[in-house]
């Protein structure tokens, strides 16, 4: 693999040199991704626990009234009662044994007390064993239906985690390949724009996981839970999580998209400020779809970052707006100039009125 050397804007490379550089950077990306995948696959237990946590919390919610969850609650209560009963029976066994040793107790009563104390001790031991056998992990997990599905699901989740972990390096290599094509003045604008992409994407993913995803999963899993036996297939759940978090990451790219449109001259800060009422309405619809819960607090919590991102976009548009105005304005000026030129070229005797027909 040829060494990757820094390339300046003034350098002139052949198509073969560009392809060699692209190949070298792709090889580096693949190597880094393989290392990240090996790490994620080795830590697949921790990664699966992180991904499964919103699902487990939703299943353990008090709003969940499915038969499986009712059985789990009964088992938990029965285990706690077994522990208390074992302690009570152990105390009863000691009391009966002490009464049997007191003076004035007949031989028959002493024998009966001894038998009763022994039975209480055995029962207490049995209930203590039942209490110890009570499941401590009551968190529900997605189910697998195929023979190879546990391996495939683990492999898939590790791959997505490795891709997320490799994202900064992949974008760095992409930027390093593209940036030499920009002039120094263009680079001052393009570099901050490119650096915003991974930062905002990761921020959107974290916001989606810690704020939006738990509420969405809890609402969807507990909706009419008393009418269904809820079993969620692992591949379906992981696909939902990946798509949901990816959408949140893309939604958080609003400032980048607005900044790109501003630099292209399509919009400006004034237009964005005048249209913010419609944008806030659209954000509320997006928040309602992303977090389909009847809780207004959840919807407001989801809306606030998006509104702040849009206000940030207005500020960036004001700072980085081009000097030449918008494309619409330039086209209007060009069209006015064409009309002016046409009027100047009109015949000297021509008038706007037509002669009447006799």
133 SS3 class: coil
pLDDT digits (tens, 9 = 90+) for 36-93: 999 999 999 999 999 999 888 887 765 566 666 677 777 778 888 888 888 888 888 8
Positions of E strands within the chain: none
Return d(Cα 254, Cα 304) in angstroms, integer: 14
What is the residue-averaged pLDDT of the chain? 78
Residues paired with residue 143 on neighbouring β-strands, in sequence order: 233
Per-residue pLDDT at 355: 45
- How is residue 105 annotated by DSSP? -
Closest CA to 204 of 58, 53, 51, 309: 309
Per-residue pLDDT at 356: 46
Per-residue pLDDT at 171: 82
Return d(Cα 246, Cα 216) in angstroms, integer: 15
| Continuous segment of H or E residues that includes residue 1 | none
Per-residue pLDDT at 160: 92
Q: What is the mean pLDDT of each run of 10 residues along the chain (358 residues)?
A: 53 72 90 96 94 84 64 78 87 82 78 84 87 74 89 93 89 79 70 79 89 83 77 90 87 80 76 85 77 69 83 79 54 53 52 45
358 class by beta-carbon count within 10 Å (0-12 exposed, 13-18 middle, 19+ buried): exposed
Over the range 70-101, which residues count as b (16 or more CB within 10 Å of their CB) and which as e? Answer: eebeeeeeebeebbebbeebbebbeebbeebe
- How far is the CA of 164 from the CAs of 81, 172, 264, 278, in angstroms? 46, 14, 30, 33
Closest CA to 200 of 146, 244, 257, 242: 257
Residue 177 CB neighbour total at 10 angstroms:
17
Torsion of CA 286, 291, 295, 297, to 10 degrees: -70
Per-residue pLDDT at 44: 94
Return d(Cα 30, Cα 23) in angstroms, integer: 10
- How far is the CA of 152 from the CAs of 36, 54, 71, 111, 237, in angstroms? 18, 21, 30, 64, 13
Return d(Cα 117, Cα 110) in angstroms, integer: 10
Per-residue pLDDT at 339: 56
Per-residue pLDDT at 161: 93
What are the backbone angles phi and psi of residue 250, rounded to the nearest 5°?
-70, -35
Per-residue pLDDT at 357: 44
Per-residue pLDDT at 226: 75
Angle (CA) 154 156 162, round 5°: 100
Per the CB < 8 A criterion, the answer to whether 120 and 96 are in contact is: yes
Per-residue pLDDT at 342: 54
Per-residue pLDDT at 32: 95
């Amino acid at each position: 693999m040829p060494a990757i050397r820094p390339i300046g804007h003034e350098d002139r490379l052949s198509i073969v040199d560009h392809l060699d550089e692209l190949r070298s950077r792709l090889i580096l990306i693949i190597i880094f991704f393989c290392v990240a995948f090996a790490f994620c696959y080795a830590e697949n237990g921790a990664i699966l626990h992180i991904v499964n946590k919103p699902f487990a919390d939703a299943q353990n919610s008090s709003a969940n009234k499915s038969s499986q969850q009712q059985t789990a609650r009964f088992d938990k209560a029965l285990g706690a009662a077994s522990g208390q009963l074992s302690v009570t029976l152990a105390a009863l066994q000691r009391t009966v044994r002490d009464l049997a040793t007191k003076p004035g107790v007949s031989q028959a009563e002493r024998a009966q007390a001894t038998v009763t104390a022994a039975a209480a001790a055995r029962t207490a031991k049995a209930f203590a064993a039942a209490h110890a056998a009570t499941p401590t992990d009551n968190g529900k997990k997605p189910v697998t239906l195929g023979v190879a599905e546990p391996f495939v699901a683990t492999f898939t989740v590790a791959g997505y985690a490795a891709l997320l972990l490799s994202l900064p390096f992949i974008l760095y290599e992409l930027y390093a390949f593209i940036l030499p094509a920009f002039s120094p003045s263009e680079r001052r604008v393009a570099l901050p724009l490119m650096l915003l992409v991974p930062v905002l994407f990761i921020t959107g993913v974290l916001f989606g996981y810690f704020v939006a995803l738990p509420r969405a999963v809890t609402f969807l899993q507990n909706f009419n839970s008393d009418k269904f036996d809820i079993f969620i297939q692992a591949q379906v759940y992981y696909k939902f999580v990946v798509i949901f978090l990816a959408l949140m990451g893309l939604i958080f790219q609003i400032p980048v998209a607005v900044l790109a449109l501003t630099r292209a001259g399509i919009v400006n800060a004034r237009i964005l400020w005048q249209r913010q009422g419609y944008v806030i309405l659209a954000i509320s619809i997006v928040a309602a779809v992303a977090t389909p819960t009847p809780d207004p607090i959840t919807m407001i919590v989801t809306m606030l970052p998006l509104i702040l991102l849009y206000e940030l976009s207005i500020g960036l548009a004001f700072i980085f707006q081009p000097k030449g105005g918008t494309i619409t304005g330039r086209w209007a000026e060009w069209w006015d100039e064409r009309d002016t030129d046409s009027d100047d070229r009109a015949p000297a005797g021509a008038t706007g009125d037509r002669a009447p027909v006799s």
